[in-house]
Each structure stands twice: as structure tokens, then as C-alpha cells.
Chains A and B, each alone.
Chain A
Amino acid sequence: MSGFDWIVPVILTVITAATPLVFAALGELITEKSGVLNLGVEGMMLVGAVTGFVTATVTGNYFLAVALAAVAGGFMAFLFGILTLSLMANQVATGLALTLFGVGLSALMGQEFVGEPVEALAKLNIPGISDIPIIGPIVFGQDGLVYLSFVMVAAVSWFLYKTKAGLILRAVGDSHDAAHSIGYSVIGIRYMAVIFGGAMSGIGGAYLSLAYTPMWAENMTAGRGWIALALIVFATWKPGLVLVGAYMFGGITILQLHAQAAGLDLPSQVLSMLPYLATVLVLVLISKDQSRIRKHAPACIGRIFHPAA
């Protein structure tokens, strides 16, 4: 390998590793900003992954596949909403149950599709432009979902901090009693935020089964839903930092694989630990500055809203 030739393939690999995390974490960010903690991300991703895969296999329509993956993830989240928002079940326990349920449900749905490959999601290819060295393949050679993930980061950022609806959502998350007393439907708004979170997890899952590793295998998320949850804390509930975190997380994972393949004399167990170590380190650093966390963390997270109280 001469010069910097290796950089492009590394970046391309990092992008595919980070994209599912970006989707899932952004969705959960909105959910949490409304004051709801849904630990079922892993389960919703799996159901999205299998729905996307089955749809793509049966219809060959990838747009429909991603759309239905979002619907399936959203439906899972809707179930979570019924239990926690309407029936006021404990959010932590219900979220964990949702993950377990999603693992089983997705395995059941995908039973007939194990061992069947599918064509990978098409990548953008503009003759001439996509061939420009370095910039071409990275900026103009991705699949649609990668571009969508960046659009969603901007959109979520804009929604939360530049729109009235975003302000209301944050108000509901910070003080549901106050929001309720000035006439906002706390439960209704939380339903929407929860369903949005589920839909985004579904898309993240579909990215796994259609683009990252175009196949269906049980439990193929392998813990990415939990990483997405950690990323939100890591990012102190800021959409831009979610993006940074996802790419850093993906980047360290990929770089350690490259370091090994290049024969760098580092113990692989330590290298595998690095992304998690980095997360813990950042958590410690930001926790020293309490005001930063207090400013962005939704104050009502995980608390059940009783309208009568």
C-alpha cells in the first residue's frame, strides 16, 4: 500500500458501519427528548431488518422495503406506546421486553428466508463524478440511505431547535406537567415521538439487511441497538454529536481491524475494547460538567405521566 490509498476504503467501510447507528440513535433521540426511554431499539431494528429483507426479496422494490421496515419499526414502537403511555407500564421493563419480543418475532418472520442472499442496495453512480479520486467514491458513490441519514441529522436538528413543534416536544420532555397545564397533549405528542423513534430504528435495521450485509440472519444486529442507546448519552442528546459519535465508534472498530491486518503488534482484545473504552472516557469527561448534561438531557425521561396528578 503506497501513500494514502488506504484511506478511501477505510472511510467507505466506516460509513457503512456508522449509518445504521445514526438512524437508530437519531430516532431514539427524539423519543427520549419527549421524555420517554425506549430500550427496545435492538428489537425494533431486528423487526425492521427482517421486514426490509423479506419485502426486498419478494417484491424487488427497495423503496417499498425501506418504507415497510419503517412501518414495522413504528408498529413495534406503537405497541410500546400502548403499554407505557396509555397503560402506564414501567418504561425500562417494557423496553427490555420489546427487545426480547423483537428478537423472537424477527426470527419467526425470517424463518423461510435464512440462507437467502439479496442484491445489495444500489449505490449512486454518476459517470465521471463518482470516479473522481477520493472525493468521488466517498461523496458521490453511496447508497440512498447514507444520504438520507445525513439529511435526517440536519432535519432532526432543525426540528428540535428551530421549529415550534420541536420546542413543544422538548417542553413535554422537560416538564410534562407544565406542558399539560398549558394545554398540550402530552400523551399524543409522546406517541408520535415514540413511533418516529421506532420507524428510524426500523430503517437502521433495514440498512443492515439490505446494504451493510445484504442477507437475513437471526439476531444480525448483534448489539447495535444498545450501542445506539449509549451513543445518545455520549452525544448529550445533541443530533450533531450523535453523528460524530456514530462515525467515531465505527471508525475505531474499523481502524482496529486494519491495524491487525497490517500486523501491528497490539492485543486484539484491547483493540476490540477501544470503542467502548472511548465511550466510557467521554462519559466521564462530560459528566464532570454537570451543566452540559442538565441543559440537554430531558428532565422527565422515563417518568410516567399521570394527567390527573
Chain B
Amino acid sequence: MNLKHISTLLGAAAVAASMLVGASASAEDKVGFVYVGPVGDHGWTYRHDLGRQAVQNKFGDKVKTTYVESVKEGADAERVIRKMAADGHKLIFTTSFGYMNPTLKVAKQFPGVQFEHATGYKRMDNVSTYSARFYEGRYVVGKIAGKMTKSNVIGYIGSFPIPEVVRGINAMILAARSVNPDVVVKVAWVSTWYDPGKEGDAAKALIDQGADVILQHTDSPAPLQVAEARGVWGVGQASDMVKFAPKAQLTGIIDDWDGYYIARTKAVLDGTWKSEDTWGGFNSGMVQLAPYNKAIPADVIQLAEDTRKGIEDGSINPFAGPFNKQDGSVGAAAGSALDDGTLLGMNWYVEGVEGQLPK
């Protein structure tokens, strides 16, 4: 080893040592994220991770963001969340419905750590909940789907029959039937948030059963690819998936967490963080639509835009009556609309959905 090598080594050692000192001296605040899927799912988790990156870019070396991906809901999640809390994270975002109880359990043991649980409904002094009104996006999509379908059958790929997913199906079919009373929706539950192969197979099955618009509440672009290959319509989920279906994607329902994550991180840094519940829609920027497909007629795009603006300014409520439940009883009477509590616990189909809701 010659002198040059040795000096390089010494230099590297010096840098490493200074970094160690720097790390312990600067006491940067750590913000953790727990993801249910891989950051490369190009859907749900991908969008949360963009939010994490936005936080990192915004606050630079004042915060350090970390994440753990593909964490199973349940016992695994509790272990991961506890590890994060014990590691000195100040703020932890747990980004899947099934993390609800694990998050609360760990939060009890770490009262000094703030937690943010996505799509849940249980809160504590140090646990906030947040979600987006995706059903607003699905309502707009329903208007388009109702106009675009020729077979009057819409196929819907469901993950799990929880209120979040049922609400999306109901909002969509209410909108579709408001412009085309003959439309029905067929639902295939795949019992997973993410399995490209199975999601694609469900899309094929729905198309084989006559559906010519495929909607999904699962996270991969596989159903859109199938729609593209079979020459039917599809809608991007969580992010713009137009690359996978340049002809078939009508639009996409985009989640945008950047603003929320930055605001909550700032609140922790400023010491103003409080436990609260946030449920943002079009008006908060949490829900956005991808550019419309050029193949959609201008009047349908106009209808979709009017609907979107109406929801944004509050003049349109997707769950305003009158409409019936699937069993024929009244869902909401004329002049009334469902309140958030009912929406959050929604466990029944509206008219126009085929098949029984699994219990």
C-alpha cells in the first residue's frame, strides 16, 4: 500500500468520524413511515412515499425520514411500529387500515411520540387519523363510466369488503346511474391489496362477464393492462397509470399526501401538533384526477369537470338522496344526505350493485 492509499484511507476515516459526531450533535427529528406494500407498487404506497420525499425535501437536514415497506397488517406491524418508536422517531405515519390496533397499542406505550394512522377511525391523545375522500373521485369516475359503457356493465375489483371500499363502489354506481339508469356494477373481491396476477385475472373474469369499464380498489396497474389488451376502459388507481394503458385509461384517481405530511411534520417541529381527524377531498388537494383520455367526448368531460367542481365547492354531495339501498329500502331520502359517520361505517350496497356484499 503506497502513501496515497494510506492518506485516502485516513481522510475517509476522518470524514466518517466527523459524520458520527455530526449525527449525534444535530439532534435532527426523525419521521417514520410504515407501508403495507413496496414503494415500487406504483400505486398506494408509491404515493405515500412521494409524500415522505416531499417532507424530506421541504425540511432538508432538520428532519430525517425513514420507512419500512411491505409490512404485513397485524403482529408484524406492531413490531415494526414499536421499533420505530423506540428508535427515537418523533412522528410516525402508519399508512394502512389494518395498522389501526397495532398503532394504538404502541401509542399507549410511547406517549411522547406522535402517531398518524391513515384511513382508521380510532384516535388517542397522541394518535391522529387522516384519510382522503376518494369516493369523491370515484363519483366523478362513475359519471364518465356511465356515459362510456356500451354493455351497461361496469366491473369493479375490490380488495376487502371494508367501508372504505364499499363507499367507493356505491359512490361510483350512484353517479353512473344518474346519467344512465340501466348500468349495473359487478364486483369481484380478490382478498388482497396487491397481487398483480390475481388483480389481472379478476379484470379478465369481469370482462368475460360482459363488463366494458374496469374499476379497481387494488394497487397494481395490472387491471389497466388487461383493459388495454382487451380493448375496454379502465381507471388509474392512486397514481396516474396512463403508461400502462395509453388507450384504455379514462382518467386516474390520484392520492396526494405531500401537503398533509409537510403540514403535520411542521406541526411537530413547531410543537403545535394535536390529535385530530382529517378527511380531505378535492378541496384539500388530497384527491386529484389524472388528465382525461382524449377519446372521451367533450360533453362527457364537461360533465365530469362540472361534477368535480361541484364537489369541490360543496354544491354536489355524492351521497345526497334520494337513492335506495340494494335491498330496496331507502338509503337517503330526497333532500337529505348521508353524514360522515354513516359513510365511515358503510356496510351495505346501493341499488345497481350485483351480488351480495360479503360479511
Chain A positions near chain B (C-beta within 8 angstroms): 1, 6, 9-10, 13, 16-17, 20, 107, 110-111, 114-117, 120, 208, 212-215, 217-220, 222-224, 253-254, 257-258, 260-265, 267-269, 272
Task: Please measure, in the bound complex, the distance between the C-alpha atom of A258 and the C-alpha atom of B70, giving whole angstroms.
Answer: 29
From residue A139, how far is it (CB to closest CB) to chain B in Å? 19
From residue B57, how far is it (CB to closest CB) to chain A in Å? 19
B221 touches A215 (CB 8 A): yes
For B196, give the chain A residue with the smallest CB separation.
A213
B41, B195, B354: the one within 8 Å of A218 (CB): B41
A215 touches B356 (CB 8 A): no
A269 touches B358 (CB 8 A): yes
From residue B319, how far is it (CB to closest CB) to chain A in Å? 24
A115 touches B243 (CB 8 A): yes
Instruction: A257-B190, A261-B155 are known; give 11 further A-B pairs, CB within 8 A.
Output: A13-B205, A16-B201, A17-B197, A115-B46, A213-B222, A215-B222, A218-B38, A218-B39, A254-B205, A260-B186, A261-B188
- A1: chain B residues within 8 A (beta carbon): 208-210
For B205, give the chain A residue with the smallest CB separation.
A257
B209 touches A261 (CB 8 A): yes
Given contacts A215-B221, A261-B155, contact A224 B197 (CB under 8 A): yes
Residue B231 lies at the interface, judged by CB distance under 8 Å to chain A: no
From residue B229, how far is it (CB to closest CB) to chain A in Å? 7
B220 touches A263 (CB 8 A): no
From residue B351, how far is it (CB to closest CB) to chain A in Å? 14
B229, B355, B356: the one within 8 Å of A120 (CB): B229
Task: Please measure, in the bound complex, the distance between the C-alpha atom of A142 and the C-alpha atom of B101, giving whole angstroms.
Answer: 47
Task: Please measure, in the bound complex, the distance between the C-alpha atom of A152 and the C-alpha atom of B310, giving whole angstroms.
Answer: 59
Contact count band on B:
35 or more
Task: Please measure, in the bound complex, the distance between the C-alpha atom of A20 and the C-alpha atom of B196, giving whole angstroms.
Answer: 13
Chain B positions near chain A (C-beta within 8 angstroms): 37-42, 46, 70, 155, 161, 186-192, 194-198, 200-202, 204-206, 208-211, 220-222, 225, 229, 243-244, 354-356, 358-359
B188, B194, B354: the one within 8 Å of A222 (CB): B194
Task: Please measure, in the bound complex, the distance between the C-alpha atom of A114 and the C-alpha atom of B243, giving whole angstroms.
Answer: 11
A219 touches B42 (CB 8 A): no
- Which of B42, B196, B220, B221 counts the most A-chain CB atoms under 10 A from its CB? B196
Q: Number of contacts between A and B (CB, 8 Å)? A: 130
- B195: chain A residues within 8 A (beta carbon): 222-223
B197 touches A213 (CB 8 A): yes
From residue B144, how far is it (CB to closest CB) to chain A in Å? 21
A222 touches B192 (CB 8 A): yes
A215 touches B196 (CB 8 A): yes
Task: Please measure, in the bound complex, the distance between the C-alpha atom of A223 and the C-alpha atom of B195, giving whole angstroms.
Answer: 9
For B240, give the chain A residue with the smallest CB separation.
A115
A265 touches B355 (CB 8 A): yes
Task: Please measure, in the bound complex, the distance between the C-alpha atom of A101 and the C-alpha atom of B208, giving whole angstroms.
Answer: 38
- A261: chain B residues within 8 A (beta carbon): 155, 186-188, 202, 205-206, 208-209, 211
B359 touches A13 (CB 8 A): no
Q: Can you give 16 contacting A-B residue pairs, CB < 8 Å?
A: A9-B208, A13-B208, A16-B201, A213-B200, A218-B37, A220-B196, A222-B196, A257-B188, A260-B187, A260-B355, A261-B186, A261-B202, A261-B208, A267-B358, A268-B188, A268-B358
For A220, give the chain B residue with the smallest CB separation.
B196
A268 touches B189 (CB 8 A): yes
Task: Please measure, in the bound complex, the distance between the C-alpha atom of A115 and the C-alpha atom of B354, giving whole angstroms.
Answer: 33
From residue A257, how far is it (CB to closest CB) to chain B in Å? 4
Task: Please measure, in the bound complex, the distance between the C-alpha atom of A269 and the C-alpha atom of B189, giving whole angstroms.
Answer: 8
Task: Please measure, in the bound complex, the distance between the C-alpha atom of A223 and the C-alpha atom of B41, giving whole angstroms.
Answer: 16
Task: Please measure, in the bound complex, the distance between the C-alpha atom of A10 and the C-alpha atom of B194, giving whole angstroms.
Answer: 22
B196, B208, B220, B222: the one within 8 Å of A10 (CB): B208
B244 touches A260 (CB 8 A): no
For A8, give the chain B residue with the smallest CB separation.
B208
B41 touches A217 (CB 8 A): yes
- Shortest 10 CB-CB contacts between residues of A and residues of B: A218-B38, A268-B189, A222-B195, A257-B205, A218-B40, A114-B40, A263-B355, A261-B209, A9-B208, A272-B191
- A214: chain B residues within 8 A (beta carbon): 225
- Which of B198, B205, B220, B225 counts the most A-chain CB atoms under 10 A from its CB? B205
B225 touches A117 (CB 8 A): yes
- A220: chain B residues within 8 A (beta carbon): 196-197, 220
- Which of A6, A117, A212 counts the most B-chain CB atoms under 10 A from its CB? A117
A6, A217, A254: the one within 8 Å of B220 (CB): A217
- B358: chain A residues within 8 A (beta carbon): 267-269
- B202: chain A residues within 8 A (beta carbon): 257, 261
Task: Please measure, in the bound complex, the distance between the C-alpha atom of A134 and the C-alpha atom of B46, giving whole angstroms.
Answer: 41
Task: Please measure, in the bound complex, the distance between the C-alpha atom of A260 and the C-alpha atom of B77, giving whole angstroms.
Answer: 31
Task: Please measure, in the bound complex, the distance between the C-alpha atom of A215 and the C-alpha atom of B222, giving whole angstroms.
Answer: 8
- B38: chain A residues within 8 A (beta carbon): 107, 217-219
B161, B189, B192, B209: the one within 8 Å of A258 (CB): B209
A260 touches B189 (CB 8 A): yes
Task: Please measure, in the bound complex, the distance between the C-alpha atom of A13 and the C-alpha atom of B188, giving whole angstroms.
Answer: 15
Task: Please measure, in the bound complex, the distance between the C-alpha atom of A253 and the C-alpha atom of B200, giving whole angstroms.
Answer: 12
- A215: chain B residues within 8 A (beta carbon): 196, 221-222, 225, 244
Task: Please measure, in the bound complex, the distance between the C-alpha atom of A265 and the C-alpha atom of B356, giving whole angstroms.
Answer: 6
B225 touches A213 (CB 8 A): yes
A258 touches B220 (CB 8 A): no
Given contacts A117-B244, A258-B208, A268-B161, contact A253 B198 (CB under 8 A): yes
Task: Please measure, in the bound complex, the distance between the C-alpha atom of A267 and the C-alpha atom of B356, giving whole angstroms.
Answer: 8
For A224, give the chain B residue with the smallest CB separation.
B197
- B201: chain A residues within 8 A (beta carbon): 13, 16-17, 253-254, 257
- A218: chain B residues within 8 A (beta carbon): 37-41, 70
A268 touches B191 (CB 8 A): yes
- B209: chain A residues within 8 A (beta carbon): 1, 6, 258, 261-262
From residue A269, how far is it (CB to closest CB) to chain B in Å? 6
From residue B148, how far is it (CB to closest CB) to chain A in Å? 19
Task: Please measure, in the bound complex, the distance between the C-alpha atom of A258 and the C-alpha atom of B194, giving whole angstroms.
Answer: 19
- B191: chain A residues within 8 A (beta carbon): 268-269, 272
- B221: chain A residues within 8 A (beta carbon): 115, 117, 215, 217
